[in-house]
Amino acid sequence: MSIEAPRQISMLDALREALELEMASDPNVIILGEDVAGGAGLGAPYEGSMGGTFGVTRGLFEKFGGRRVRDTPISEAGFVGAAIGAAVAGMRPVVDLMWSNFALLSFDQIANQAAKLRYMFGGQSGVPMVLRMAMGAGLSAGGQHSDTLYSLFTHIPGLKVVVPSNAYDAKGLLAQAIRDDDPVLFFEHMSLYPKKADVPEGRYAIDLGRARVVKQGSDVTIVAIAAMVERALAAADLLAAEGIDAEVVDPRTLSPLDERSILDSVAKTHRLIVVDESPPRCGIAGDIAGLVAQHIPSELRSGVRLLTCPHTPVPFSPTLEARYVPSVERVAATARELCGHG
């Protein structure tokens, strides 16, 4: 591992770097998905020209060829199933599902096959496969192109769920997801694709199951997921000016979940807010609250607050969508109330 002088690149470019570096170091890593090459089979100059709907895989077809960067028809059950089979037969497929909603077309493959194969077969084989998918409200993409389905998959034993909040983490977590021997669902928030951060050029990996305390604080713990991390940080800035010292914790992966880091933070601040851009029922926000209630109830000085979306599909119109996602102001107001500054 070599870490050079930092440079700023977008999360989108960071993800591409992780794919390229892992593919270069392991010939068994292959990429499957709709438009991952783009124009495959048409010959130059069309072949490889799309590089995925968002451009994450751009240039990889040219570098690694059509055997390793394979466009698929629009048939999610078929190609996710094929990725599982390829994984048990020695490959490390990285599947681009485009939008997380499309994962639902392959739900049987993910939940009944990939998740259970190791367990049902007594540990004979794992499924070293990564399913990458974009998610999140904010683009007026509407009800079927915006869902954040990470809680749904976190519920299923046998899967791992990764939710990066920045370019640096995205690169290291994707590298680790590819090297992992279990199926990993990798959620990429669309609003984060263009956001830049310091990212080393070399190959590095971040362990799954390690949260990061993004900002230290002593008055209230704000656990925030994916794009909510930057909102939590913005709220923490507002609060600091008012004398409230918020700690922001980014779990980075929801399965496995770094319970220890969350509990340690709450034990220090005695207050908890979870900011989660997904519906409230059976969601990760409630799950984290339950964890604290179960393990350290006496540490809580006031109630827990869960800032989630309303229990509705993601709306289309910008005014509705803006109301749907927890805002910086809502996070700040909730912290004030919890800390008795309301």
Partner 1 sequence: MPSDDRSGNLAPGELLGLYRTMLTIRRFEERVTREFRRGKIPGFVHSYAGSEAIAVGVCAHLDDADMITSTHRGHGHCIAKGCDLRAMFAEVAGRVDGLCRGRGGSMHVADFSKGMLGANAIVGGGIGIATGAALAAQCSGSRAVAVAFFGDGAANQGVLHESMNLASIWRLPIVYVCENNGWAESTPASYASSIVRLADRAAGYAMEGVTVDAASVVDVHRAAGAAIERARAGSGPTFLEVTTRRFEGHFVGDPAKYRNEDVAELRISDPIADARSLLLSSGLFTDGDLQALESAVDVSIDQAADWALESEWPDPESVERDVYAPTGVVQ
| Binding footprint of partner 1 on the chain (CB under 8 A) | 28, 30, 67-68, 70, 72-73, 75, 77-91, 93, 108-109, 112-113, 117-126, 128, 157-158, 160, 176, 179-182, 207-209, 256
Q: Which is nearer to partner 1, 9 or 86 (CB)?
A: 86
Closest distance of CB 108 from partner 1, Å: 6
CB of 96 to partner 1, least distance (A): 15
Q: Are 282 and 257 in contact (CB under 8 A)?
A: no
Rounded to a whole number, what is the distance in angstroms from the first to the last CA of the chain? Answer: 48
Helix, strand or coil, per DSSP, at residue 230: helix
Question: What amino acid is encoded at 97 in this protein?
Answer: L
The C-alpha atoms of residue 174 and residue 186 are separated, in whole angstroms, by 7
Kindly tell me which of 79 and 193 has the beta carbon lying closer to partner 1.
79
Q: Which is nearer to partner 1, 184 or 227 (CB)?
A: 184
User: Which DSSP helix (H) or strand (E) runs through 214?
Assistant: strand 212-215
Which lies closer to partner 1 via its Cβ, residue 87 or residue 141?
87
Torsion, CA 137, CA 139, CA 140, CA 141, rounded to 10: -80
Shortest Å, Cβ 70 to partner 1 = 8
In order of 110, 242, 308, 335, 336, the CA distances from 342 in angstroms are 45, 11, 20, 8, 5
If you write DSSP's letter for every residue of 78-100 in order, what string do you get?
A: HHHHHHHHHHHTT-EEEEEEEEG
295 is catalytic: no
Q: Rounded to the nearest whole angstrom, what is the least distance from the CB of residue 67 to partner 1 in the complex?
A: 6
Q: Which of 17, 34, 145, 189 is catalytic?
A: 145
**Burial of residue 56, with CB atoms counted within 10 A of its CB: 0-12 exposed, 13-18 middle, 19 or more buried:** buried
Nearer to partner 1, 157 or 243 (CB): 157
Please give the structure tokens belonging to residue 188: 């990429």
Q: Which is nearer to partner 1, 169 or 182 (CB)?
A: 182
What's the min distance (Å) between Cβ of 16 and partner 1?
A: 21
Q: What is the DSSP letter of 55?
A: S
Up-side HSE of residue 244: CA atoms within 13 Å toward CB? 27
Helix (H) or strand (E) segment spanning residue 10: strand 8-10
Select 26 or 198, whichever has its Cβ closest to partner 1: 26
Peptide bond into 45 cis (omega under 30): yes
Determine which one of 17, 22, 34, 76 is catalytic.
76
Task: Establish whether 155 is a catalytic residue.
Answer: no
Beta strand spans in 100-205 (E) = 130-135, 160-162, 184-189, 196-198
Q: Smallest gap, in angstroms, from Cβ of residue 91 to partner 1?
A: 5
Instruction: Find the shortest distance in angstroms from Cβ 80 to partner 1.
Output: 7
Please provide residue 319's backbone torsions phi and psi, each rounded to the nearest 5 degrees.
-70, -40
List active site positions: 76, 145
